[in-house]
Structure 1
Amino acid sequence: MEPEEFEFPFPPYPIQIDFMKNLWKCLNEGKLGIFESPTGTGKSLSIICGALKWLVDYEENNKSNLQIQMKQLNDELKKITDESKGDWFVEQTGQMKIKQKQQIIKDQLDALERRELRKNKFKEKIQMENELKKHKRIFKSSIKKDNKTDNKLDEDDSLEKNDIDQDLLLEDLNINSDDDKDEEEEELETARYTQFFFCSRTHSQLTQFIGELKNSPYADKVSSVPLSSRQNYCINKTVKKLKHVNLINERCLQLQKKKTTSKKEKDLKKAKITTSCPFNPGNQSLLIADIVTKIQDIEEIGSNAKELETCAYYASRRSLPDSQVILLPYNTILHANTRKSSGINLKNNVIIIDEAHNLLEAIERMHSSQITGRNILHCYNQLTQYQKRFENLFSAKSVLSLSQLSYCLKKLIKILGGTSRSQLTDEIKDEIPSKVFNIEDFEAVAEIDTINIFHLIDFINQSKLIHKLQGFVEKYSDDLKVQNIPKKAEGISAFLNSLQGKDEQLNTEIIIEQKKEEEISNNPLILIISFLESLKSCSSDGRIFVIPGKTVGQGVIKFLLMNPAAHFHDIVKEAKSVILAGGTMEPISEFRDQLFIGAGAESERIMTFSCDHVVPKENILTRILCKGPTGVSLEFNYQNRQNPKLLDELGRILQNLCNIIPGGMVVFLPSYGYEEHLSKHLEKSGVLAKIKIKKKIYREPKTASGVNAVLEGFARDVKSPKIPQTGALLFSVVGGKLSEGLNFSDDLGRCVIVVGMPYPNIKSPELQEKIKYLNENLKPGAGNEYYENSCMKAVNQCIGRAVRHINDYSTVILLDKRYSGKMKSLPGWIQRTLEVHNEFKSTIGEVAKFFSAKKKLVKQ
C-alpha cells in the first residue's frame, strides 16, 4: 500500500500528494504510467519526491528481504545437516540447490555492500582533497605538468606531408570480427540494484531538473550523474573546435586508439603526431568521486574537469555503476545505438520521461532523415577525389566498400534525375513526379538492393571514414568545400529587416545561417550515413519520399518513421517501469495505443493519472468566441482566414480587449505567413496604431537568435509601461519558438488568445501517408484522430503558457466557432470555466468584470 506521507521541501498541495501516491504505486507494481500534471503544479518536484521515496523504500525493503532470505536458507542448510545423520551424500545433495540460491542472494548483497564501500571511499577522497586545498594552493604536481607538456596537442601546421597522409588513411579493420569494440571503452560493471533514468528534451530542462533535485529532501540521500555528449563534456579545445558531434566523437576515439610502443615513440615525437588526449585518463578517480558524492549539473562537472585536467565525458560514464539517478536527454535513452554506446542497461530499471507530450513526434524525428541532391553530389565528388589519391594504399576490403558507397551515391543521384557528372545547377530535362516508397521498394527502384547496407555502415563507422574524409577535404581539396551562394534580402531576411529596421542586423543573421549550413554541408557524408541508417529499419515502419527539384541539387530524398513503437519495444520489454509525464498529455489514447500497446505492452500494465491545476477556479476565465463585435462569424479556416472582413473583425476584437486587459497579452496565430499577413492588414487599416495607444506591439522573430531581444523588450514594457500604455501585446505563432517551454506568468500573460485552429496542411504528402499508415495498421479512423489531435495538442501547449503558479490568474480566449466541438480535447483545468459565447459583448463584459475583481483584491 502506498505511503500516506512524503518528504517535501514545503507542505505539498493535495494534488501533489495524489500525484506522488499514484507514482509510488505505479513504480511498486512495475507498470507503465502516463501522468498528466499542468505546468505550475510543481510536477518536477512531485516526480522527484514520489519516485525517490519509492527508491529509498525499495532499497531498504530489498536489503532486508535479502537478509531474511539468507537467514532462511541458512536455517534450511542446518536442518538438512541435522536430518542427514552423518550421511554426507544425502547432505551434499540436499544442500546443492540451496547453496545455488544462497550464491545469487550473496552476489546481490555483495553488490550493495561494495556500492556503500565505494561511496564511503569517494567521500574520504573528497574530504582529503579539500584538506589538501586548505594547506596547498598549488594542486598540480610537477610530474603532471611534465606529462602534459609531453602529451600536449601540437597544432603546428608544418607537419610533413607524408606524416599527415598516413593519418588520413582508413582504419583497416575486420568488419565481421567480434573484437571491433573501441579499445578505449571500459567494460562497466553491471549494477545489481535498481537505477532511475530521468529524461527530458533539452539541456536546459535537465539543468532545471537537477536544480530541483538539489533542493529536494533527497539531495544527500542519492547519488546522481548527468550524461551528455562529448560535444558538451569535452575540454580538449583541439577536438571541440570540430563542432559537429560526429567529428568530435571520431576524433576522440582516434586519439584513444593511438597507443605506441617505445620503439615507435621517438619517430612519433619527431613527426609531431598526437599519440593520445592529454586529458584522458588524467585524475579520473577524483572527478568520479566528486560526481558521485555531490549532485551537479553538466556545467559544474565540466568546470571541475578543467580544474583537474581530466576528461568529464569518460568520468561521467565511469560514474554510472555508482549512481542511483542518471539524468540524460531523450535521444540517449530512445536511440538504441546511443544507449548501447553509453553503457546504459535498462533491465529491471526505471525510466521516467519528463515533458513527454511530444514523445511520439520526438521518436519519429530522431529516426527520420533527409538528404538533398546537393549533399549527394558533394559527397560523391569528395569520395572520388579521396579514392584517387589513396586507392593504392587501401586494402582490398576497403576498396570494395568504398566502391559500394560510390555506387549507392550514383544511384541516389540517378533517382533524382541526374548522373554522377551532373552539376548542382543542372536543370532536370524531364519533369519527374514525387513518389513515396516503403524501404524494400525504394531499394529495388534505386537499384541498391544488392548492397548489404548493414556491412556498408559498419565499414564507414569502423574505418572512421567521416573523420578521414573531413581531414582530406580540409588539407587538400578546398575546391570540394561547399560555397554558399549569397542570399538576397527576402523571406526570413525581409521579415527581420522589417522587425529590426537595421541592415547590419540583417546581414549578421544571414551570415550566421550560412555558417550553420556550411558546417553541415562541408561534411555531407554525415547526412548520407544518417539516411543509410534509416534503410536498416523494418520495411513497413517507414516511408521514403523522393521529391525531385528543378535542378539536380534541389532534389530531396527523405525517410520518415511511421511507427515510433518500433523503437520503444526494447524499453517496454526490459524496464521495470516506464513513466511518461507532462503538463498536457491529452489525448492519452495516443500514448496508450501508438506507443505502449504498439510496443507490445499489455493494456492491464498501463496506468494513467491526471490531476487538476493548483490555480483556483476563480483565477481562470476561458471563453470560446463564435462571433465578433459586428456579428461576423469567426471561422479562420484555410479558405476564409484571409478574408478582409474577417481580418477587420479580428482587429476590432484585439482593440477592444487591449482596452480592458492589463499587462501582457499573447496572441497565437496559425503560421508565420499568416502573422505577417495580419500585421500588414492591421497596419494598413490603422488598427495597429490604435492598439499601440494601449499596448506596445512585439512580433515573434523567425530566427532563434532574435527571441531573447523580443522577450526582454516585451517583459520591460509589461512591467514598466510608458503612459498611457498599460502593457504590451505579443504576436506569436502556434508551434513556434514561444508556444512551448516559455513562461508568461503573472503580468506577462494576463490573456492568451488563440486565433483559428492550427491544423497541419492536409495536402502534405507526408501527412497523408501518416494518416493512411494509421488507418491501415492501427484501426480505421485512427488517421483522422491523429490529424485532429495534432491541432489540439498544439493549442493546449499555447494555453499552458498562461498560469504558472497558485496565485497567478489569466484569461484564455479561443477565436473560432469550431472550438465549440472540441471542448473535450482541452485540458481539464481549462474546462472548469469554459463557456461558448455567440455574442462578443458577453465575452468583453465578463473579461472586464474578471479583471475589475482582481484589481479590487490587489488594492485590499
Structure 2
Amino acid sequence: MKELYNCLQDGKLGLFESPTGTGKSLSLICGALKWLIDHEKWKKQELTSIIAEIDNKIKNCEKPSDNWFTVQTEQIELNTQRQPLQDKLNALLEYESEREKFKKIVESKKAAQTKTIGKIKRQPTTKFTESNKTKGIDSDVCDTEKDLILEDALSNSESSEEENTEEPLFKNTKIFFCSRTHSQLTQFVHELKRSPYSQDISVVPISSRQNYCINKSVKRLKHISLINETCLQLQRKKTTVKKEKDLKKLKTASGCPFVPGDQKLLMAEVLTNIQDVEEIVQKGQENNTCPYYGSRKSLQSGQLILVPYNSILHKSTRDSLGIDLKGNVLIIDEAHNLLDAIEGMHSSIITGRNLLHCYSQLSQYQKRFEALFSAKSILHLGQLSFCLKKLLTLFGATTRSHPKDEIDKTVTPKLYKIEEFELLTEIDTVNIFKLLEFVKTSKLIHKLQGFVEQYGNSIKINEQKIKKSGITEFLNSIKNKDTSTQETASIANVPDNNEDQTSNPLMAIVSFLECLKSSCTDGRICVLPGTTIGQGIIKFLLLNPAAHFHDIVRDARSVVLAGGTMEPMSEFIDQLFLMAGAMPDRIMTFSCDHVIPKENIISNVVIRGPTGVEFEFNFHNRQDTKLLDELGRALLNLCNIVPAGIVIFFPSYNYEDIVFKHLDKSGIISKISVKKRIYREPKLASQVNAILEQYAHSIKNPQSPCNGSLLFSVVGGKLSEGLNFSDNLGRCIIVVGLPYPNIKSPELQEKMKYLNEHVKPDAGNSFYENSCMKAVNQCIGRSVRHINDYSTVVLLDKRYRHKVKVLPQWIQRSVTINDSFGSVIGNIAKFFSAKRTKTV
C-alpha cells in the first residue's frame, strides 16, 4: 500500500506483483483511495492558501501610500490573479456539496416510497405496458424504406449523447480501475464495500449497452455493434401524434421510453451507494430510466471509475465514453496478459464467406435504393465493393464464386506488410480513412442490417442442391436458422470467432479496414487459404501493442499494472512502457511474496516415470506409446496417494484428446476411476460451469472407494485462468510437458523477428520462452488461494529442471528435482500424511 501510494504521488508507471490470497484487491483499494482522499484535500488546501496569500497582499496595498497609481495597478493585477482561483475553489466546493444533494434525493425517494406503497405495487403493470409499447415501437424501427436510406454526413448529430462540451472549471481527480471481465469487476465491487473508504467515495461502474440496456427489443439484437447503432437510431426519432383520419398512414416513430427518464435520481443512486452493474440495472428498471446513460452521466462526478479492458485500451471507445485520462490514475488489474489483450483487441479476422456475403448484401441494397442515394454515397459504396472484390482475389475468387468452391492449391499461406498488402490488392487507390468515416456517419452497418431483416425472409429460396451464386448464398444464410438446407448447414463450418458475424459481415470487414490505418511497421496481414473459399481467412496481426498505449502513458498521471504473476517484468518494461515513450526513471517495480507458509506447498520436477522412462513431451515424442503408458502409470500412482481433487493440464485440446483416448484404450482410465471420478474440460464455454459443479460435488460427496476427482484440463483453456481450485478442489496440480506455441507458425515467426529488430537481438527467443512459462505459472497459480490452503505441484517433463528460475518466487522456494519417481511419491505421501495428522 505504501509503495502504491508513493507511486501515485510521484506520477510513476508501476508494476506490482502480489500472489492470489495476499489481499491484492483490498491493498489496491486502500492504497489508491487513501492517496485520492489526501490528494483532493491537498488541492483544496493549496487553493485556499494561495487565495489567502493574495488577500494579504491586497490588504497591504490598501494602506495609505503616496504612489496611488502603482498601488491601484497592483490591486487590479492581484484581483485578476485571485478571480480564476476563487472560481476554481467555488467549483470545488460546489462539487463537494453535490454529493450531499444526491444523498438528499435518495433519502427523499425512500421517504416517498414508504408513503406510496400502493402506487409501487401497481408499478409493474405500468412497466409491462411500457415494455409492450417499446416492442411496438422497436419492431417498426426498420419498418419503412425511409429508415433504410443512408444518412448524410451533415445530418449526423448524435444529440442523444447530450454531452456537455464546456470545459468545467474544476475537474476532480479520478482513478480508473480496469479489469478483464465483467465478473472480476463485480468481485472488486464486493471488496470495495468491505473497505474503510466505502462511505467516502463515489464509484461508477462503466459497462456496455449490452450489459446496461433495459429495452428488451434492443437487447435481443445480441451483437454489441447492432445494439449501439439501434440505441442511437432510436433516440434520433421524435414521437409523432397524428389525427385519427390519418390512422392508416400512422408510422410509429418514437424514441426509447427509458431515455431520459429520471436520470437525476439514478445518478444519485449510483454516486451515493457502491453498486455493481446488476444492481444499477435493477435501479434503472425500478425508476424506468436508462442505466447506460445514467452511469455515463455519473462519470464526471465519480471518483473511482470501474471499466472493462476494452473501454480503456481502445482509443475510439475511450473517446466515445468521454473517458479523459489527463491527470488521472489508471490501475489495470490482472495485467499479466495485457500485451496479448491489446494485440487481440486491435487485431482482426475476416473469412471468404464474410466477403461474399457482404458483397451480396451491398449489391442488393444498392440496386434497391440507388436512385435515392447522393452521388457521394454511390461513390463510397462503389469503393467498398471494389475493396471486397480485390480482397477476394487473394483466394483466387471473384464475386460470382460460391463459399463452397474449392480454393486453387497454388494459393499458399502468405504474410504481408501493410503497404505490400495494399499495393498487391490495389486498395491503396481508396482513401480508407474517408471510406470508414462514410460508413460511420451514414450508419451503413445499421441500414444494411435493417435491409437484411426486412427483405431477407420475404424472398423464396430455391432449395435445389446446385452450385449457387454469392447472392443466393447470402439469401440462404439469412433464412430462419431452423432450416436444414445444404447451405444453412455449411454455416457450422465457419470458425467460432466469426459465428455471430455471418448475418452482418460488414462489421467484420469494417473492423479489418480499421486495422489498415495502423502504422506500416506495427502490423502484418496473414492470408490463410482454407479448403474452400468460404473458409479462407485474412488476419490482421498487431505486432506492437505499445502503439496503442502511447496516449495512455503520455496523458495519465500514473499507470499501475497489477497481477498475481507479473514475471517476467522486463517484458512489460521493454515492450510496453519504453516503446510507448516512457522515460526509464518513471518506471518502478514491486513484488511481494506469498502469504502461505513454506510448508504448505511442495513442488516436484519429475524427470522419469515409475519404470524409468524419461519424461520429455516434446513435439516428436508426444505420441510415443511408451511415453503415454508411462504417463498413465504415473497418474495412477499419484491418484492413489493424493486426496480430494487433482487438476492435470495438457499443452493443447488435441493432445489432451490423444492422451485420454490412449489411456482409455490401455485400461488406465478404468483403474483411475476406482479412486477418482474423471472429468474433462469442455470446449464450449457454456458447459464449463456444469462440469465444475459436478467435479466439486464428487469431491465433497465421495462415493467409496472413490476419494475425489480428476479433471483433465488444457493450458490456456477455460480452466487455466481466473478460476479458484482452492482447498480440496486442487490438492495437486499436474502440468504435462511444456506448452510452447507452434514455432513454425508464420505469425509467431513474424512476431519474434519484429521483437529482435525493434526491442533487442534476443527479444524474440525470450518472448517464445516467456509465452510458455507464463502459461505454466497461471496454471500453478490456481492451486493455493488463501493463507491456510495447501497443495502440491507436479511438473512432468525433464526440461523443467532448467526452468526453475522462471517459476514464481513462492514456488521456487519449495522445488525438488527428482531423478526417480519413487522420491516424488515419497515426498507427496509424507506431505499429505503431515497435513492429515495436523487436522486430526
Report the TM-score, using the length of structure 1 for normalisation.
0.90
* Aligned match for 1:474, one of 433, 443, 453: 453
Deviation at 1:93, TM superposition (A): 3.9
Deviation at 1:701, TM superposition (A): 1.1
- Of 132-141 and 66-75, more deviation after overlay is shown by 132-141
Deviation at 1:741, TM superposition (A): 0.7
Contact residue 240 and residue 253 of structure 2 kept, 8 A = no
* Aligned match for 2:37, one of 56, 68, 72: 56
Contact residue 238 and residue 253 of structure 2 kept, 8 A = no
1:87 alignment partner in structure 2 = 68
Deviation at 1:182, TM superposition (A): 4.7
Deviation at 1:548, TM superposition (A): 2.3
* Aligned match for 1:850, one of 815, 831, 838: 831
* Aligned match for 1:743, one of 707, 711, 724: 724
Contact residue 636 and residue 672 of structure 2 kept, 8 A = yes
Secondary structure, counterpart of 1:691 in structure 2: helix
1:5 alignment partner in structure 2 = none
Deviation at 1:210, TM superposition (A): 0.5
1:671 alignment partner in structure 2 = 652
CA distance in 2, matches of 1:789, 1:669: 17
- The verdict on how the C-alpha distance between 1:97 and 1:697 changes in structure 2, with shifts beyond 3 A counting, is farther
- Of 124-133 and 710-719, more deviation after overlay is shown by 710-719
Q: Which amino acid aligns with 1:56?
A: I
Contact residue 184 and residue 256 of structure 1 kept, 8 A = no
Secondary structure, counterpart of 1:316 in structure 2: helix
1:168 alignment partner in structure 2 = 148
CA distance in 1, matches of 2:480, 2:264: 51
1:134 alignment partner in structure 2 = 114
Secondary structure, counterpart of 1:624 in structure 2: strand
Contact residue 137 and residue 254 of structure 2 kept, 8 A = no
Contact residue 364 and residue 561 of structure 1 kept, 8 A = yes
CA distance in 1, matches of 2:479, 2:451: 24
Secondary structure, counterpart of 2:134 in structure 1: coil
1:660 alignment partner in structure 2 = 641
* Aligned match for 1:320, one of 293, 296, 299: 299
- Of 707-716 and 556-565, more deviation after overlay is shown by 707-716
Contact residue 389 and residue 399 of structure 2 kept, 8 A = yes
Secondary structure, counterpart of 1:628 in structure 2: coil
- Of 54-63 and 338-347, more deviation after overlay is shown by 54-63
Deviation at 1:565, TM superposition (A): 0.3
Deviation at 1:97, TM superposition (A): 5.2
- Of 396-405 and 350-359, more deviation after overlay is shown by 396-405
Contact residue 723 and residue 782 of structure 2 kept, 8 A = yes
2:208 pairs with 1:214: no
- Of 102-111 and 612-621, more deviation after overlay is shown by 102-111
The C-alpha deviation readout for 1:77-96, integer Å capped at 9, x for no partner, is: 333444864523x2354345
Deviation at 1:158, TM superposition (A): 10
1:185 alignment partner in structure 2 = 162
Secondary structure, counterpart of 1:725 in structure 2: coil
Secondary structure, counterpart of 1:706 in structure 2: helix
- The verdict on how the C-alpha distance between 1:752 and 1:151 changes in structure 2, with shifts beyond 3 A counting, is closer
2:678 alignment partner in structure 1 = 697
1:302 alignment partner in structure 2 = 281
* Aligned match for 2:791, one of 799, 805, 810: 810
- The verdict on how the C-alpha distance between 1:291 and 1:84 changes in structure 2, with shifts beyond 3 A counting, is farther
Contact residue 137 and residue 253 of structure 2 kept, 8 A = no
2:337 pairs with 1:358: yes
Q: Which amino acid aligns with 1:110?
A: N
Contact residue 141 and residue 253 of structure 2 kept, 8 A = no
1:483 alignment partner in structure 2 = 477
1:774 alignment partner in structure 2 = 755
* Aligned match for 1:623, one of 595, 598, 604: 604
1:501 alignment partner in structure 2 = none
Contact residue 204 and residue 299 of structure 2 kept, 8 A = yes
Q: Which amino acid aligns with 2:260?
A: P
CA distance in 2, matches of 1:298, 1:343: 19
Contact residue 172 and residue 301 of structure 2 kept, 8 A = no
1:387 alignment partner in structure 2 = 366
- Of 828-837 and 149-158, more deviation after overlay is shown by 149-158
CA distance in 2, matches of 1:832, 1:701: 34
Secondary structure, counterpart of 1:346 in structure 2: coil
Work out the number of aligned pairs and report it. 813
Contact residue 108 and residue 192 of structure 1 kept, 8 A = no
The C-alpha deviation readout for 1:770-825, integer Å capped at 9, x for no partner, is: 00110111110100000000000000000000000000000111111111111111
Q: Which amino acid aligns with 1:409?
A: L
CA distance in 1, matches of 2:259, 2:141: 27
2:230 pairs with 1:230: no
Deviation at 1:644, TM superposition (A): 1.1
* Aligned match for 2:585, one of 604, 608, 616: 604
- Of 707-716 and 265-274, more deviation after overlay is shown by 265-274
CA distance in 2, matches of 1:512, 1:858: 54
Report the TM-score, using the length of structure 2 for normalisation.
0.92
1:494 alignment partner in structure 2 = none
- Of 627-636 and 751-760, more deviation after overlay is shown by 627-636
2:818 alignment partner in structure 1 = 837
Contact residue 695 and residue 729 of structure 1 kept, 8 A = yes
Contact residue 151 and residue 274 of structure 1 kept, 8 A = no
Contact residue 151 and residue 276 of structure 1 kept, 8 A = no
2:102 pairs with 1:102: no
Q: Which amino acid aligns with 2:646?
A: M
CA distance in 2, matches of 1:659, 1:697: 14
- The verdict on how the C-alpha distance between 1:301 and 1:266 changes in structure 2, with shifts beyond 3 A counting, is farther
CA distance in 2, matches of 1:514, 1:431: 23
Contact residue 482 and residue 522 of structure 1 kept, 8 A = no
1:729 alignment partner in structure 2 = 710
* Aligned match for 1:827, one of 805, 808, 815: 808
CA distance in 2, matches of 1:301, 1:397: 43
2:330 pairs with 1:336: no
Secondary structure, counterpart of 1:539 in structure 2: coil
2:99 alignment partner in structure 1 = 119
CA distance in 1, matches of 2:139, 2:742: 56
Secondary structure, counterpart of 1:131 in structure 2: helix
Contact residue 477 and residue 503 of structure 2 kept, 8 A = no
1:524 alignment partner in structure 2 = 505
2:589 pairs with 1:595: no
- The verdict on how the C-alpha distance between 1:694 and 1:484 changes in structure 2, with shifts beyond 3 A counting, is farther
Contact residue 327 and residue 556 of structure 2 kept, 8 A = yes
CA distance in 2, matches of 1:251, 1:266: 31
- The verdict on how the C-alpha distance between 1:701 and 1:513 changes in structure 2, with shifts beyond 3 A counting, is farther
2:738 pairs with 1:757: yes
CA distance in 1, matches of 2:660, 2:127: 65
* Aligned match for 2:700, one of 709, 715, 719: 719
2:558 alignment partner in structure 1 = 577
CA distance in 2, matches of 1:431, 1:268: 63
- The verdict on how the C-alpha distance between 1:158 and 1:23 changes in structure 2, with shifts beyond 3 A counting, is closer
Secondary structure, counterpart of 1:35 in structure 2: strand
The C-alpha deviation readout for 1:608-666, integer Å capped at 9, x for no partner, is: 00000011101010111111122111111111121111111111111111111111111
The C-alpha deviation readout for 1:483-521, integer Å capped at 9, x for no partner, is: 39999xxxxxxxxxxxxxxxxxxxx9x999999965321
CA distance in 2, matches of 1:84, 1:816: 91
CA distance in 2, matches of 1:850, 1:322: 54
- Of 332-341 and 626-635, more deviation after overlay is shown by 626-635
- The verdict on how the C-alpha distance between 1:183 and 1:699 changes in structure 2, with shifts beyond 3 A counting, is closer
CA distance in 2, matches of 1:446, 1:33: 44
Deviation at 1:101, TM superposition (A): 4.0
The 5 A counterparts of 1:343-492 are 343-429=322-408, 431-478=410-457, 480-481=474-475, 483=477
Q: Which amino acid aligns with 1:427?
A: E
